[in-house]
Amino acid sequence: MTTDEDKLKAMFQASQPEINQQIALKKVLAKSHKVTAVKDVAGLFVGWIWVVFLGFGASMYSARRQLNKHNRPLRKTPIKNSAQAGDTE
């Protein structure tokens, strides 16, 4: 065997450090809880920004339509009603 193989064999046979499963689980759960909370708050914040952004866009759109409706040029020839069109016979 080579020295590298001996080193690997020795590392494999060495005892693993004792890990308390309960403490490790609590650490992982606490970290995942924090990450999930941050993502939830960030999602709500981004959602509210979109609501405000779309609200301003809708307001600008309706204001532009109202402005265009009032600024239309007047027709030079009046529109005849169907009753007036029937009287010409």
CA distance readout (Å), 10 to 4, 7, 16, 19: 10, 5, 12, 20
Q: Is residue 46 part of a domain?
A: yes
Residue 55 domain boundaries: 42-69
pTM of the prediction? Answer: 0.48
How many domains would you assign to the chain?
1
The string of pLDDT tens digits covering residues 7-26 is 888 887 777 777 889 999 99
Q: Is residue 50 part of a domain?
A: yes
The string of pLDDT tens digits covering residues 34-81 is 999 999 999 999 999 999 999 999 999 998 888 887 777 666 676 677
Nearest Cα neighbor of 70 from 58, 62, 80 is 62
Q: Is residue 28 part of a domain?
A: no
Q: Is residue 20 part of a domain?
A: no
On the 0-12 / 13-18 / 19+ scale of CB atoms within 10 A, 39 is exposed
Q: Is residue 47 part of a domain?
A: yes
